[in-house]
Structure 1
Amino acid sequence: MHYGFGQPHDGIMQTGFIVPDLKAAIDHWVRDLKVGPWFVFDHFTGIDPIYRGGPSKADSTIAMSFAGHMNIELIQPLDDNPSVYKEFAESRGYGFHHYGLSTTRFDEEIEGYKAKGYELAFLAGVPTGGRVAYMENGVNQPGMVELIEYTDSTDEAFTAMYSAALTWDGSDPVRPFG
């Protein structure tokens, strides 16, 4: 079974990158890679965010677009509060951060990754009604695994962004999320 944006259920649907300057990163993806339009969510903190076992106050701005069926996410940390984004940029630098896997079995997948030796680094609700969980397995991994809980609203939001990318003519490259 596939989502409305073409990726299979329980498969990789997203690649995420930490960037120092969201506007410059979007400009690069639009100009050099012809990816757009970008949907920007200013000041994303998550709903009831938990970072490494405690409440999180971290603030970031994210932007999403599609390259083919793959969702691309750009994330700019906005403050000095601890977060999975800030810690990654400080320890590894800017660039690739995570693979996003959508799942219909969110809680089971978290436990499955824990059984494989992964640690739950971040958990939060998202505006589409689902949740996300960042799982990490040490410095030998190229990036984290983000589990993205599937909901009908998630599919609708990602399908709308995918559809916009399919018909994008290069105009209006930055748009509000939602």
Structure 2
Amino acid sequence: MSRIFGNITQMGYVVHDINAEMRRWLAHGVGPWFYVHDVQTDYFTHRGSESPMKMSVALANSGDVQIELIQPRNDAPSLYREFLESGREGLQHIAYWTEDYQGLYDKALSLGYEVGHEGAIGGEQGRFAYFDTEKTFGHIIEISDISGPKGQFFRYIREVAATWDGSEPIRGDVDKLA
């Protein structure tokens, strides 16, 4: 547990082929996956500038830890794109969730953490920030606001995973899967 951020709640993987990665994790027994082909952000900035970044996301839980798969869908600037363009694929960030997002955000900034990219999904209570800690830790640190609907959705994913019998392994935009 971090005395600054709390417990690690998510491991985020940036990948070239989200469909193949979901299948790989399913073969490992992790699922079901909640998939969104075209994630709609309220806003998204990369290194302080607006970016029209597009992505697909799949979420599943392994116990209390959520696994997130992210596939960028355009060449717009983001830490995801930087990661893939550096020749890497796989674990890119670990995340900490909070119901006091602004307090944790301000604390991280006061301690010298620098925002690499940030945005929101689903309103003010869906904010997230990725701190550029890769040189220090070898990965990015994300914080995410779970005080609203996103937190409820994340709890639902964890509950479904706890009793998952292998049926409906991919849920969501399954018609868009290749």
- TM-score, normalised to structure 2's length? 0.87
Using the TM superposition, give the Cα deviation of residue 91 of structure 1 relative to its aligned residue in structure 2, in angstroms: 2.4
Equivalent residue number for residue 156 of structure 1: 152
Relative to its length, the structure with more strand (as a share) is: 1
Amino acid of the structure 2 residue aligned with 1:149: D
Equivalent residue number for residue 86 of structure 2: 91
Amino acid of the structure 2 residue aligned with 1:162: R
User: How many residues are matched?
Assistant: 168
Query: 1:1-178 maps to which residues of 2 (within 5 A)?
Result: 10-31=6-27, 33-91=28-86, 93-127=88-122, 129-176=125-172
Write the distance in 2 (CA, Å) between the matches of 1:138 and 1:63: 23
Q: Cα–Cα, structure 1 residues 108 and 132, in superposed 2: closer, same or farther, change >3 Å?
A: same
Gap regions ≥5 residues in structure 1 = 1-8
Over 4 Å off, 4+ runs: none
Residue by residue, what CA displacement relative to the aligned partner does 1:20-69 show, whole Å, maximum 9, x if unpaired? 100000000001x1000000111225211111111110111010000011
Write the distance in 2 (CA, Å) between the matches of 1:20 and 1:169: 28
- TM-score, normalised to structure 1's length? 0.87
Write the distance in 1 (CA, Å) between the matches of 2:88 and 2:40: 21
Q: Is the 8 A contact 1:17 1:98 kept in 2?
A: yes
Write the distance in 2 (CA, Å) between the matches of 1:88 and 1:21: 14
Q: What secondary structure sits across from 2:37 in the alignment?
A: strand
Using the TM superposition, give the Cα deviation of residue 156 of structure 1 relative to its aligned residue in structure 2, in angstroms: 1.4
Q: What secondary structure sits across from 1:140 in the alignment?
A: helix
Gap regions ≥5 residues in structure 2 = 174-178
Q: Percent identity?
A: 30
Write the distance in 2 (CA, Å) between the matches of 1:84 and 1:116: 21
Q: Cα–Cα, structure 1 residues 164 and 116, in superposed 2: closer, same or farther, change >3 Å?
A: same
